[in-house]
Amino acid sequence: MQPVPISDYGFLSDCRSGALVGRDGSVDWWCPDRFDSPSVFGRLLDPEGGHWRIAPVGAGTAGHRVQRSYQPDTLVLRTVHHTPEGSVAVTDALAAEPGARTHQFGMRSPAVLLRVVEGLSGRVRMAVDFRPRPEYGLIKPYLRERDDGALVVNAGPVQLVLRCAGPRLLAEHGQVRQTFEITEGQRVGFDLAYAAAYGDPPAQLEPVGTLADTVRAWQSFRAVHHYDGRYPEVVRRSATVLTGLTYARSGAVTAAATTSLPEVIGGDRNYDYRFAWLRDFAMTLRALWVAACPDESSRLFAWAARAVGQIGTDPVPVLFGLEGERDVSEHVCPNFAGYAGSRPVHVGNDAWRQRQLDVPGEVLSAVWRLRDQLGDKFDAELRELVVGLTEQVAAAWHLPDRGIWEPRDDERHYLSSKVLCWVAMDKAVRLAPRLGERADVRRWVAVRDEIRATVLREGFHDGRGAYTGVFGSPELDAAALYLPVVGFLPADDPRMRATIAAVERELGGDGGLVRRWKEEPAGFVLCSFWLVECLALAGERDRAARLFEEVAGHANDLGLFSEQIDLKTRAHLGNTPQALSHIGLIHAAWRLTDPTAD
């Protein structure tokens, strides 16, 4: 079985969990309890991992054509199938809590997957193929029919109830495979509700009405957010994706909705991204701020402060679970074959154990951005957070670490990590008036200036004529593009200009894509948007705008980005939808709107 291209998937969200549905009408990924919970549909990672397909009989053959789009300002997906017999629409959503509006959205999501089939013309025979496989495909459940016609799935810790406001569903051998006809003007609604096996029963919702209410919930939420910069349509779409990646109960933003989609087909760099990274934190917060989502910015900051807790001598973890869990230890799912045979499939991410010196800089950048909301004098907990992180940087900045790309090999002196250490000290010095007697400004200034001098001396490789990824190494790394973005150097500094040119020349590819390093076969979407920002900061706004439009054009037909884009095939690679890719787009659009913006 050939895998569905990653770019063929649409993303559904209820701000509790995420689902992926392909152009072929199959829901191939759903972790219903929360983003990082076990899947009940996992065909994304194994042909036998479970799925739920609704599509015309003979879909994919000659004469079958698909059009799809999101309802405006939502993650409610409408797929129209045109067949020789007629046309039919399938609208998919993860249900909002009934009546939820504006910032209530996602707080009490009922964990219900809605699918509404609507006849548009003619008479079309539809096929239903329902094969739940809970616990990452480990369980083949029994399906039993209730007196009201609903199908009940009881399997281990999971209970599911599938209802259909139309044909009676018949189960056999742990699955449903049947057909029904739909004619012009007819609607048939399905709802699949999840609950824990030993908790309250799954919710019962009327599909058609709940679907309409979910559209209104999304649109009411987006209606209170206003963005006035360039490229408003793609920025609003990316902001909606970030909302969809938000775990509303805590305010954390998950890095992606999936695990183990490969950076290289057949490779082993397959990691679980269903967690919240502190590294992404300041970038995420700024993107939400730019997209005029201040309430979400504040909730994200509150989550981070609570997750970090009291600062000690141990490094702050780079990532946390969505409710602030620290231990997200990694293990392999041996029963999953992996996307296109790309093994291993991971659950959990051991990067939480790494020393990554850039993390405090991201957190203190976020504090600086929210300083006016946080007050002229910080409360005791916030003071301890800022002072504790600053002292950690002052004590450890000279050590090697694992860097922004989280390699699983030796620690090194990464340029980007040292620069973010400078950012941490610089922001701490600026925040000092709000910190009281604990602020040791004179010493902090000295450390800040020492870090800067070290980066300028050790980070530039004379033989390469550019800032490189690791002190003393000639190897280019697109992370050097971050220097102007965080304000360490102006983009028109001669050495920085030379670095930008070298990255564009040696790591760039067709379509405006930029690789992280030379051996990488795919462009990294975030780095590609960093190049846009650098060009805009260097005064090349027209060229930056053209590059922005090229890179933005690599999104799929729904405006979604994965982590990377193959330079030759343009195939999406890596986990999807990827928060950092959409964050990069928002930042670059705003930089083109106002190059002087902080």
Q: Is the peptide bond before 132 cis (omega within 30 degrees of 0)?
A: no
Does pLDDT of 103 surpass 80? Answer: no
Out of 305-319, 327-341, 525-539, which region has the weakest mean confidence (pLDDT)?
305-319
State pLDDT tens for residues 27-81: 999 999 999 999 999 999 999 999 999 999 988 788 899 999 999 999 999 999 9
Q: What is the mean pLDDT of the chain?
A: 94
Does pLDDT of 330 surpass 70? Answer: yes
Interatomic CA distance for residues 583 and 197, integer angstroms:
37
Domains and CATH numbers, the chain: 6-223 (2.70.98.10)
pLDDT value of residue 454: 98
State pLDDT tens for residues 123-135: 999 999 999 999 9
pLDDT value of residue 294: 64
3-class secondary-structure state, position 283: helix
pLDDT value of residue 165: 87
Does pLDDT of 321 surpass 90? Answer: yes
Strand 175-183 relative to strand 51-56, pairing: unpaired
Burial of 310 by CB count in 10 Å (0-12 exposed, 13-18 middle, 19+ buried)? exposed
Interval 206-227 mean pLDDT: 91
State pLDDT tens for residues 273-302: 999 999 888 888 888 877 766 677 778 888
- pTM here is 0.96
pLDDT-derived band at 140 (thresholds 50, 70, 90) equals very high
State pLDDT tens for residues 416-440: 999 999 999 999 999 999 999 989 9
Angle at 219 between CA 213 and CA 225, to 5 degrees: 150
pLDDT value of residue 533: 97
Interatomic CA distance for residues 129 and 53, integer angstroms:
5
